A and B are shown apart, each in its own frame.
Chain A
Amino acid sequence: GQSLEQPSEVTAVEGAIVQINCTYQTSGFYGLSWYQQHDGGAPTFLSYNGLDGLEETGRFSSFLSRSDSYGYLLLQELQMKDSASYFCAVRVFLYGGATNKLIFGTGTLLAVQP
């Protein structure tokens, strides 16, 4: 089967750093993505890791280790507006590589406190 695991909730204070982990078991792995979703809103794309290592985009960084089937999202200098759900998603190939789809984790609710 295909599964992704991430913590259900994380709490941190403004200005702090928080790491959200994601472990996955999938076949046909192509890359790991992260999405942010504010309550009742549309998920927005944050980052993508196709190869091992760290990708940095402003205050957000994402890491991937394909040998460990593990990745994380790192949020620095936390702000109140970062309070949201964060989803990891694995891109897998279908039909011999002709198409692909995203499989989402169940999400991590991040609460940033003053």
Chain B
Amino acid sequence: DGGITQSPKYLFRKEGQNVTLSCEQNLNHDAMYWYRQDPGQGLRLIYYSQIVNDFQKGDIAEGYSVSREKKESFPLTVTSAQKNPTAFYLCASKDRSYGYTFGSGTRLTVV
């Protein structure tokens, strides 16, 4: 079945550590997105990519980095510059239709 796979489901980060969240899709979608969700809040856009080897900053890109070397993969790195990284991270992709397909998310906690 086609879909988006995010891993790991839970991730713990120590202060000053970089961590990378994986996002893989087999939907053949061109566009991919990373969103952050805080408790009781909506989703805020971190980065997005319309095609391979191209990506753009979203509304809250500071402290994050991404790459898009393959159509299927859009990993997100949470760097030590992100001062409040504890959140639920959601990856999404989109084809020419109107709806986004989301992965099941990664819950990141700073310890």
**Chain A residues proximal to chain B, CB less than 8 Å:** 4, 8, 31, 33, 35, 40-45, 48, 50, 87, 89, 91, 94, 98-99, 101-107
- B residues 36-67 touching A (CB-CB < 8 Å): 40-45, 48, 50, 56, 58
* Bound-state Cα–Cα, A89 to B35, Å: 13
The answer, among B56, B98, B103, for a CB contact under 8 Å with A42, is B103
Instruction: Report the nearest A residue to B43, measured CB to CB.
Output: A104
Counting from the closest, the 4 A-B pairs by CB-CB distance are: A45-B99, A104-B42, A48-B98, A42-B102
25 inter-chain pairs at a CB distance below 8 angstroms, sorted by A residue, are: A4-B42, A8-B40, A33-B98, A33-B99, A35-B100, A40-B88, A41-B105, A42-B102, A42-B103, A43-B43, A43-B90, A43-B100, A43-B102, A44-B102, A45-B98, A45-B101, A48-B98, A50-B98, A87-B42, A94-B56, A98-B50, A99-B50, A104-B44, A105-B42, A106-B40
A94 CB contacts on chain B under 8 angstroms: 56
Neighbouring A residues of B58 by C-beta, 8 Å:
101
| In the bound complex, CA of A98 to CA of B101 (Å) | 20
Given contacts A33-B99, A99-B56, A104-B43, 15 further A-B contacts (CB under 8 A): A4-B42, A31-B98, A40-B88, A40-B105, A43-B90, A45-B100, A45-B101, A87-B42, A91-B98, A99-B50, A101-B33, A101-B48, A102-B45, A102-B100, A106-B41
Among B35, B44, B99, B104, contact of A41 (Cβ-Cβ < 8 Å): B104
Contact status A42-B90, CB under 8 Å: yes
Contact with A along B68-89 (1 / 0, CB 8 A): 0000000000000000000010
* B binding-site residues for A, Cβ under 8 Å: 33, 35, 40-45, 48, 50, 56, 58, 88, 90, 98-105, 107
Chain B residues, Cβ within 8 Å of A98: 50
Q: Is the beta-carbon distance between A107 and B42 smaller than 8 angstroms? A: yes
Q: Give the CA-CA distance A33 to B56 in the complex, in Å.
A: 22
Q: Is the CB of A48 within 8 A of B99?
A: yes
What's the dominant secondary structure at chain B's contact region?
strand
Main secondary structure of the interface of A (DSSP, over half): strand
Given A43-B90, A99-B50, A106-B42 contact (CB < 8 Å): yes
